[in-house]
Chain A
Amino acid sequence: MSSTTDAVSSAATESSVGVSRAPKKRMRKALGTIFWISICWIGVVFLLAIVASWIGLDDPNNGDFSLINSSPSWSHLFGTDDLGRDILSRVIYGARVSLIVGFGAMGLGMSIGGTLGMIAAYRRGAVDTLVSAASYVMLAFPALVAVIAIVAFWGHDIWKITIIVGVASTPLVYRVIRAATLSYATREFVTAAKAQGATDTRILSRELLPNVLPTIISYFLIGVATVIILEGALAFLGLSVPAPTASWGNMINESRTYLSDNPWLALFPSMAMFLFLVALNLVGDALRQSFDAQESKL
């Protein structure tokens, strides 16, 4: 627990404490509305990404060459890009990439890193020592540089990116979930379950998992936001899904060349990414705060 990583993550967790009680209650109420708006927004983005092919959007990859770099209008609400493609349509289709990479990679990282973290914290001993040492070695390596190098050597289709980023996220996930599980693994209810003859699998899934779940969910959402930023950075360096597939990062990257002629090109994908990231951070943060409050009531 004395590692620098843990120190920072716990300090970051506590960054919102210390505000006196009464205003906090009011803040939580105010957070309520924003929280539900954020949930709705995440839902809308998901829904649009799923039904994108059936709601009569223009083809995101084939444009109208007679109408390039046009400003927003009634026929093209967000305008068109340098190849006459509808920006609205590309922003919606682009959400697919961010969602698949973001949720896919964190899902992978959570299932490997989270499972290992819970097992290590519950069993301790040699397993813990070995996996923890491995996680430190992986953490020492700068993640983006590793991801850039592996993507460059291995190729960049959407599934490879998801797997690479997912694996790269495991050591951090492992440390967070391990720390969260540690605080429960020695509690009385675990001892009681053991005394009743519960198997390890049962204790991990029925006793520990429900307690660690709040940490898992809030960390998962904030992790998804981080992964979406990482995909954007890869795209900006020309290393995300290959053209002409739309992704928010790809669109921002493509907009660089036409900045002075058509700023809309940069604005809409940036707004889409920004609003989605804010929503994810807000929901993750609000969940964490409300769970913290529940814990302090005990």
Chain B
Amino acid sequence: MAKFLLKRLLALMGILLLVSLGIFMLVHLLPGDPTTTILGPNNTAHNRAVLMQQLGLNKPIWSQYFLWLGNIFHGNLGQSFITHQTVTNTLANAFPIDLELIVISQVVALSVSIPLAIASAKKPNGLLDRVSTTTSFALLALPPFIIIVFAVLIFSIHFHVFPGPGSYVPFSQDPISNLHTMILPSLVLAIGSVVIYFRLLRGDLITTLQEEFIVMARSKGLSNRYIMWRHALRPSSLSLLAAAGLNIGGLVAGAFVVEFLLAIPGLGYALVNSIQQVDYLAVQGVTLFVAVVVVVLNFIIDFLFTIVDPRIARE
């Protein structure tokens, strides 16, 4: 187990190094002078000298990379030449918002998809199963950027149930109205996850329910409810976990989209703003941060697998 974990940790380090290298190269391998790219409209002689010093641009590219990497470990991702905010500061302000969105959406998604999948799997091809399977298939073709537009049109503009774009309030300032603003984007995000989890779990449960140990459990006289929750759902938790892991990337993307429409100042909003302002240092910082978070989360989920099913570590 310890050896397995060590091997995985080494792989994680390797992947993180490659990811950081890739993001570093994005700025440095592009044609043209990186200072021109990074400084953008603020390309003055003074700024250029400061940047040269900061990035060590007169040194060879490898030592530049290690300098950059070293700075990251000290929590220094650079300071934007456009907004004069440190990139670390931008991240610290924006990340909790994404976290809130994603956590709410996942709680909603799991509490909808699990009972729905169980109810559908009880009677495959029954009315509920057919309705939910067809609906989920249609929803597969409705990406978050379409749903959010119509959700805002219906719920904010027509019925005024939820606040419209640009009404974000920080949680620390007013928790109630903060939650009120976050409901609509979280629900839109949740829809995509519900579809994935429902389709996966339903298929899994139908297959599991035909296994012999279920027949065995039935013949022992256990109740259907007990069999469903204790015997059938348990082996499916593995694939659900895997799906949740794969879903993280899509969730981040979806969060970017809904934030952008509703002007919620999360990471996606920060990223698109920095791109539009040609603020490359911020783009680099946000990209690196998101990539690292996703890679580390996937690592943790991989590790959870070995706890749920210890056989994986023995392989």
Contacts and interface: CB of A to CB of B under 8 A. Distances in A.
B239 A11 contact: yes
A8 B242 contact: yes
Given A140-B298, A154-B30, A281 B124 contact: no
Nearest to B298: A140
A14 B280 contact: no
A198 B174 CA distance: 73
A150 interface: yes
B278 to A, nearest CB: 9
A229 B250 CA distance: 11
Interface stretch (A17-25, A87-95, A180-188): A17-25
A173 interface: no
A16 B136 CA distance: 13
Interface stretch (A64-72, A122-130, A235-243, A290-298): A235-243
B272 A237 contact: yes
A32 interface: no
B271 interface: yes
Interface stretch (B88-96, B180-188, B198-206): B198-206
Contacts, number: 167
A152 interface: yes
A18 B206 contact: yes
A254 B245 CA distance: 33
Contacts of B291: 141-142, 145-146
Contacts of A15: 199-200, 202-204
Given A14-B207, A17-B207, A143 B149 contact: no
Contacts of A5: 242, 246
Nearest to B241: A4
B52 interface: no
Contacts of A270: 146, 149-150
Where chain A touches its partner, the secondary structure class is helix
Interface in B196-233: 199-200, 202-204, 206-207, 209-210
B125 to A, nearest CB: 5
B204 A11 contact: yes
Contact of B276 (A140, A238, A281): A238
A140 B295 contact: yes
Given A15-B203, A18-B206, A145-B253, A4 B140 contact: no
Interface stretch (B54-62, B67-75, B99-107, B256-264): B256-264
Given A142-B253, A249-B145, A18 B203 contact: yes
A281 B140 contact: yes
B260 A7 contact: no
B153 A142 contact: no
Given A141-B19, A142-B291, A249-B145, A266 B242 contact: no
Contact of B124 (A18, A252, A263, A278): A18
Interface stretch (B2-10, B20-28, B41-49, B76-84): B20-28
A73 interface: no
Nearest to A271: B146
B97 interface: no
Interface in A131-157: 136-137, 140-146, 148-150, 152-154
Contact of B146 (A7, A252, A278): A252
A249 B209 CA distance: 42
A156 to B, nearest CB: 10
B149 A266 contact: yes
Contact of B287 (A143, A145, A229, A255): A145
A266 B153 contact: yes
Contact of A141 (B137, B246, B283, B295): B295
A229 B143 contact: yes
A2 B312 contact: yes
Nearest to B200: A11
Given A15-B203, A150-B26, A144 B253 contact: yes
Given A4-B242, A266-B150, A236 B257 contact: yes
A265 B256 CA distance: 22
B244 to A, nearest CB: 10
B149 A140 contact: no
Contact of A148 (B23, B275, B280): B275
Contacts of B276: 238
B207 A12 contact: no
A16 B294 CA distance: 30
Contacts of B13: none
Given A141-B19, A259-B152, A233 B30 contact: no
Interface of A: 2, 4-5, 7-8, 11-12, 14-20, 23, 136-137, 140-146, 148-150, 152-154, 225, 229, 232-233, 236-239, 249, 252-253, 255-256, 259-260, 263, 266, 270, 273-274, 277-278, 281-282, 285
Interface of B: 14-15, 18-19, 22-23, 26-27, 30, 37, 124-125, 137-138, 140-146, 149-150, 152-153, 157, 165, 199-200, 202-204, 206-207, 209-210, 238-239, 242-243, 245-246, 248-250, 252-253, 256-257, 260-261, 268, 271-272, 275-276, 280, 283-284, 287, 290-291, 294-295, 298, 301-302, 305, 312, 315
13 contacts: A4-B246, A19-B206, A141-B295, A144-B256, A148-B271, A149-B283, A150-B26, A153-B26, A237-B272, A252-B149, A273-B141, A278-B137, A278-B141
Given A4-B305, A238-B272, A270-B146, 6 more contacts: A12-B199, A18-B206, A148-B271, A149-B283, A237-B268, A260-B157
- Counting from the closest, the 4 A-B pairs by CB-CB distance are A15-B203, A277-B141, A18-B206, A144-B253
